[in-house]
Amino acid sequence: MTREVELRDKVRKNLAARGDAGAAWLDRLPALVERLEAEWKITVGETFPNATEAYVAEAVANDGTELALKIPIVGIEKTERELRFLEAAAGHGYVRLVRAERESGAMLLERLGPQLAQMGLPIDKQMAILCATLKQAWMKALPGVRLLTGAEKAGQTGLVIERAWPKLNGSRPDKMLQLARRFVRARCDAYDPHTAVVAHGDAHAWNLLHDPKTGGYKFVDPEGLFIERAHDVAISMREWPAEYLAGDAVALGRTRCALLSRLTGADEAAIWQWGYLETLVNGLLYTESGQDQLAARFLDVAETWAGAA
């Protein structure tokens, strides 16, 4: 009898969006898990609660080592890139890859602890941990892997903003869009392959997990960019919007930006510009998905920052 495989709601929604290909992947999943259990000599247990684009479950090796099994769902473009990324990192700043199967994209990973976002730490402490781990995780090159460059990421960001902006139906001042265009051009022009690093691409506290063996933290789910350090750092500018809205959003943003620059050495102006762009994009994407209350937090912050520009 084929085992039943549990999937989280967010994973099922992403599968449903892939139509017949998603349904076929789901049909094959139980047999794939059983085969990997036999071939990799592991026992697969409960699924982890926060997966969105993969089946991620507890696994235990025959020798008792606690691991995690990750199988990305069909149609995830970054699967091979993530695998190569983790191979190159070799456990430095990123979760350690124990074994992989390229055909299915399955990865056997070391078992880490809770996400930084779940640790109940003050925001400043979370940012300090994020920055310290980024400095360990950044790599100078990833041979043989095509990564989106900083200029391409800025251009892609601009396209997202231009596509989604009309959906606001004039509810936000046009100055926000004009500032975004200026910042996109600036970050395109600033790209320098001699100073760029192999970066995570979405370095927030939900993608950073506690390592119970060392007491430190490691990143998971890298997007993979070849970009200036300021972009990875600026993800922390986008996060925790409620803190900004509880006070002077401009002053609090500038204070956070200066702290992130001191912690990493990344350029403060670049952090501010990427932070504005990432915050605006979050608001626009939540608007597109109908999550208006959540969208408003990010758009309110971006509007306040744009007003003070």
- Give the three-class secondary structure for 139: strand
d(CA 177, CA 171) in angstroms, rounded, equals 12
Regarding whether 162 and 138 lie in a shared domain, the answer is: yes
Residue 256, in any domain of the structure = yes
Residue 3, in any domain of the structure = no
Regarding whether 216 and 132 lie in a shared domain, the answer is: yes
Confidence at residue 255, expressed as pLDDT on a 0 to 100 scale: 98
Q: How far is CA 132 from the centre of its chain?
A: 17
**Amino acid (1-letter code) at residue 88:** A
Residue 29, in any domain of the structure = yes
Confidence at residue 2, expressed as pLDDT on a 0 to 100 scale: 57
Confidence at residue 288, expressed as pLDDT on a 0 to 100 scale: 94
Residue 2, in any domain of the structure = no
Regarding whether 261 and 212 lie in a shared domain, the answer is: yes
Residue 237, in any domain of the structure = yes
Domain boundary among 110, 125, 152: 110
Domain boundary among 79, 110, 141: 110
The CATH number of the domain holding residue 130 is 3.90.1200.10
pTM: 0.92
Regarding whether 218 and 196 lie in a shared domain, the answer is: yes
Confidence at residue 14, expressed as pLDDT on a 0 to 100 scale: 85
Number of Cβ within a 10 Å radius of residue 76? 15
The CATH number of the domain holding residue 28 is 3.30.200.20
Task: Return the higher-pLDDT residue of 7 and 251.
Answer: 251
Give the count of domains, the chain.
2
For residues 24-46, average pLDDT: 94
Contact 239, 261 (CB under 8 A): no
d(CA 156, CA 75) in angstroms, rounded, equals 20
Confidence at residue 4, expressed as pLDDT on a 0 to 100 scale: 72
Backbone angles phi, psi at 169, to 5 degrees: 55, 40
d(CA 131, CA 137) in angstroms, rounded, equals 10
Regarding whether 123 and 94 lie in a shared domain, the answer is: no
Regarding whether 104 and 147 lie in a shared domain, the answer is: no
Regarding whether 254 and 146 lie in a shared domain, the answer is: yes
Contact 305, 212 (CB under 8 A): no
Q: How far is CA 165 from the centre of its chain?
A: 23
Regarding whether 124 and 102 lie in a shared domain, the answer is: no
Residue 246, in any domain of the structure = yes
Residue-wise pLDDT tens digits, 253-307 = 999 999 999 999 999 999 999 999 999 999 999 999 999 999 999 999 999 999 9
Q: Which secondary structure element, helix H or strand E, spans residue 238, and what is its range?
A: helix 229-238
Regarding whether 144 and 265 lie in a shared domain, the answer is: yes
Regarding whether 106 and 75 lie in a shared domain, the answer is: yes
Number of Cβ within a 10 Å radius of residue 305? 22
Regarding whether 121 and 70 lie in a shared domain, the answer is: no
Q: Enumerate residues 6+ apart whose C-beta is below 8 A from 129.
A: 116, 121, 208, 217
Regarding whether 134 and 97 lie in a shared domain, the answer is: no
Number of Cβ within a 10 Å radius of residue 268? 16
Containing domain of residue 26, as a range? 9-110
Confidence at residue 1, expressed as pLDDT on a 0 to 100 scale: 44
Domain boundary among 86, 110, 134: 110
Token pair belonging to 255: 């204070």
Residue 61, in any domain of the structure = yes
Contact 21, 74 (CB under 8 A): yes
Residue 145, in any domain of the structure = yes
